[in-house]
Structure 1
Amino acid sequence: MMKLDLSCSVWVLAVALLLLVRITAGSILGAAVNIELLEQDRTQPVRAHYSAVSSLPCPALNQLCKETDCMNQLSSSPLTGALPSPGWCLHQWKKNIPEQYTSALQLRSNRSVLLQSRADLSVRADTNRVNQPPYVALPPPVRLQAACPQEIPVNVMDLDGDEIRCRYKNTDLELLQLNEETCMLLYEGGAPLGQYSVLLMVEDFPQSDREAEPFSTVPVHLLITVESGAGCSVVPQFSDVSPAGGSVIHVLPFEEVHVNITVDSRVQSVSEIAVTGPPGLFKSPMEIGQNFQSSVTLSWVQGPNQFAHLVSICFAANTQSLQSNIRCIWLQQTQTDPLPPGTELKCKEHEMSLVLPLSFLENVHFSALQLNDPTCPVFYNWTHVTASFPLTGCGTKRMHFGSELLYTNTLRSINPNSTISRMATLILPLACRIPAQRAKGPAFKISIPEEVKTFGAVSFWLEFHLPGMGPMSNQTRLPSFRGAPQGRAARSTARMDILDLHVFSNCSLARAELLVGSCVESETEDFANTKPLLNQGCTNGNGTLEILTSTSTVRIFRLYLSSLSINGDTMYVECVMHLCVTTKQTDRCPDPCSGTPNTTIIESILTHNYTVRSGPVSLIKVTENSATTAKPQSATPVAQPSTSQSLTATASRSLDTAAFWVITVSLLVVMHLP
């Protein structure tokens, strides 16, 4: 059993701390808000960065944020986990808010989670600057064994170096203790099995005045699951190669960060290493090694500065009845300043070229400058450093950041002496960023194929068939389902009980995959009122199951009409879909509902999103010889694509640098006029 040292600590007993809740589809399992001032400008509103963990199926952004000005954070696919059942996903978005603001998160009939934040926009007397609020990390869902004591850290950080304290916002049951000064929760055991809601407020105070009012407040909500277990076994332990909790990694613009996590578990095998982190964080498939070790690798690229200056990565190892201690690390984005005039990066069709003036580079070993591949030449004279290198060589990396394509390299100086030197070190990340939008004007062109050149002239349509009928009857007669189907009682009515929704594309491109984002059902042709059938490509509870097919451009979903509570004798269906193809034959397109998604950095090309509607689908049972039995209902696009991912680029330019001789260039594509 864990030995807990409570000496020299200030613990506050939680009275009415937890509300017993039940996880249902779409429940909020955790949420946090981090707030920042916009460029230290007190006339501007506060930027709030939201993170929310919800149970599967993943809700759409408009279900989590009801306001119209919520901006989805750029992400190729959301992070997901399997435990607690039925699994979870992480959503992140941002919006501008006033200095005092309350957000209400609510999914379906669950209790609303109120997230209150407050920022002090006055200038501090001790720093002569506006205060920076504290940051709080959102961990994966917390799991406890009912009889086993456990410490639960609330991971916080403050860039001003202020004192941080945590306090309860809600109080209902006597179950946990909170050390307000260390932000540590203590579970002493003995709670009934179930899920419990905890809402904490994180506040920063001046170091010199313990009686002062807090500068600002940010919230964090946790849903803690208490489970049964076979005794207080030794939980999985992280090995020495894993980063220590509270570690800070400084990240340069367009720099790629790699984090290795390895866990030892000798009592039970590790089911997953659950991870939460910033949008665009990729997690490799878990590898099982020798000596009871399991490991994953995390990768993240700092792209355009749309995230908070400080972002967290939290991780925990789960077995079927145990969870390791939760660790969190921080990624701090390096601040940059403009470079001097004359600096230029040209992104050409097959190469990058750099011109860098020497007027501001003092005490740098120019003869020791090199790219990622030190064999590639770098030239210099009395006035400039120049280098030209291919997009496919000299160590240049190609990666996707959401829908954008990045080519990155780094120019750095290598100190030829192993002894301590006063010579400055130059670190200059270079990046050609290709936004997913069409180029304006003929002056610049990237030779990446457009959608029609890649996929051809494609179309999409919907069909409805009874099980075992239609063009895919050999795969729906005795289907294999994604996930285990549950038994359902058939109704003895005149209406159908089961119907198969077929989604088709005529794309003939090899390895092209049809991805269905969402489907809704309506009793009326105008879709004034709708019910979800699919959500972000995930089946909707027990009412929908996906049938696995051998054709990548066909998706089939079995609809259990009674479970979906579809009324009336006729329905209309609308689906959003697109095509995807990876540039590597060994990769698969991201699947947010696979349970163990492919979370490596995948290079893929996507079509637009297309919205397709069916005609009227009759739900009345008819005789076998009737011509209207599950008559296929074709559909055509009724709206323009909702997102554009045409792969030519708008040329633009941004040059930045950092102080202290760590010089960085955040370079977008620079227009090169003839």
Structure 2
Amino acid sequence: MSQLTLHLLLLALASCALASHYYGGTMTYVSKGQNPDGSFTVDIRYKETFRTGCSTYNRWSCASGNCGTITSLQSGRVDSSSAGFNWCHSDALMTRRLSSDEPFELRMASCCWITNTAGGGLSWRLLTHIDLGTRSDTLAPNRSPVTTVIPHIRLPSNCHRNINLLAHDPDGDQVRCRYGLVYNVECSSCQQHSNFYLDEDTCVLHHYGYTSVGARVFEFVVEDFPTQQISVSYSTGSWASKFPLSPATPSPSSTPYSTAAPGGTPLSRIPLQLIVRIDGAVPSCTEGVYLPRLLSPTPYNGEVFDIAVAQELEIHLKAQATHSLLSDFLISGPLNITEQKTFSGSVAESTLKWTPTENDNGVHFPICFIAESKLGASVYHSEMRCVIVRVGPRAGEANVICSETTMTVEVEKSSIIGLHADHLRLNDPSCTLMSNATHVIGSMSLNSCGTQLEEDDENLIFKNEITTVEDPTAVITRRHEVEIGFSCVYPKTGRVSLEFRAHKVPFIFTERGFGKFTYQFEFYHSSQFSQMVDPSTYPVEVPLKEMIYMEIESSSSIPNTVLFVESCRATPIDDPSYHLYYSIIENGCIIDDTVVVYAENGPDYKFGMEAFKFIGNYDEVFISCSVILCKAGDPSTRCAQGCSNSTAAPAVHHHRRRSVALETASHYISQGPLRLKRSSKESADTVRSDLSSTSLNMNLVFIAGTLLALVAMVCGVVIFKSKHPKVRYQELPNSEF
């Protein structure tokens, strides 16, 4: 044997020895869009765990298609453990530039799984199918499911335990977790272990207990499917059809990358591999005794956190075990996540911290964690929980000046690095922002430039927002890079000299399967519904006990839709969740006995009722309704069910039907305010009282007094816009800026 041959053999053996301590890995991806030169960029994040060291290498090779070139690669340690078995868990970000957005596959393969594992074999295989084409439903590239896992999970042999595998899809697609099936492609042994059951729809791995001691290799594949038939188009002019996953569709057995199956064609495939170690029996399977129990304020499994670029995320973990010694928290998360742990008696706590960068904007990041305890040589794990962190745009730094009739906002240019002042706008893009050397400045009256009004019991809150407008030189844009919310808050005291007309414009929503659709809620003068109340006359004045006529009209690009009014309630402020309310319709059933329905079972709903008042010091009333849009002709939709006295059944059914895009989600829409038209002859007996002994909310008047004066300004604040506002709001009509 020559020295060269011997040297190569030794290198091969060394490489095999290094890789023979493999614990598992995964890969996800997110498109970063098209570049000015026509090429495409994709960020690929992958995790891998080895027993020896935390060095992350690019072992990925191109398995099919045009995989482009690597433009950057970052990697680092996330966590490690020395509890009986040493391992180190690392995370890497690989950026690739591609000549087209057509599908390609990356493969990583080597030798070997850790020794003494059932089903491990010698080699291991990871394969990722990446598709950057534009979806017809979102008009954007597909985003793969988001997942990660603690690479080495320990279970006692005698306990029934579940492992909740994270399978979050940023596009809202249906996700399936299945075993790898294609030998030497998706898996190295493709073994499905006894006493374990994988629920493919929920991605929960059930362990039924009474399993022999030892490590098991699990080689899963995570796939996302559209909820309706869509097409995916590519820059080359080609396209492909994608079909939803039928409930009866079996897993493919030999050709997992075929796109000819109408029963379901995945948009992407990502690997998820790990080791589950079965230890000896534990004296008690009850959590909190030997097995650690996660306590509040630990997030629940699947919880979602929304943070802004450059904003530090903090997640607090807490665990308890009375008969074993808590020793560690194991984590899997993004690069540069840090952990601070404290241990005190039977309780342990940890604080996870992470700050996203500009490149993380718009990305969903998974974080999983497990509490670990010891008793002698025994090691115990809590349940694994995983959360999702959604990164939003950077929150700029601003100063707000509030006067009696105007708002002025001053934004420091240094807080919006990388963006030109000319690319910023208010809610109403026709209103311009001024700029000097250090600040971007906007000044507006309280009812102009898209300013929105919210209110609570004590205050009127005027809100606007600065966001980015498309850079005319950019090829594409899909999200705001900056959202700077600002507001002025005024107490409701005195009388007002300036009256605000708060008529609502049509409500616009977008959902997969229905595209863009609108609801318009209006008041009318008569049961003929021929003359709408003029929006310029709001608040609407109504005499006590006279009929009020209302119409909710839907408009959709999808033909043959019907509107269903699920509920309607009246409140003294524009907030349907306010504690004082009067029910008009519940679960599609009429509650108020003065209600008359003039049109239903079509694209609009016309109804009327007598005006009456809330007892107490309330001067206005708003009507809020929860509405659903359904495709006509299907008897199983919530729209077809009509009035239902049960609240539970429709909710479960509604969730199931939405998965096949037969109906939309419930949306709250509202209109008002209404104001009581008083007369000199009005007396106390004109007030209807329908209170029951158990209700706090059953007395209502249609009223609308003048808005109270803006006497004293409470505060001007800057906010990062929440994606789920807790208070309903309305847009004020524009006046000249």
What is the TM-score normalised by the length of structure 1? 0.47
Q: Say which structure is richer in strand.
A: 2
- Which structure: larger Rg? 2
If asked which structure has higher relative contact order (CA below 8 Å, sep 6+), I would say 1
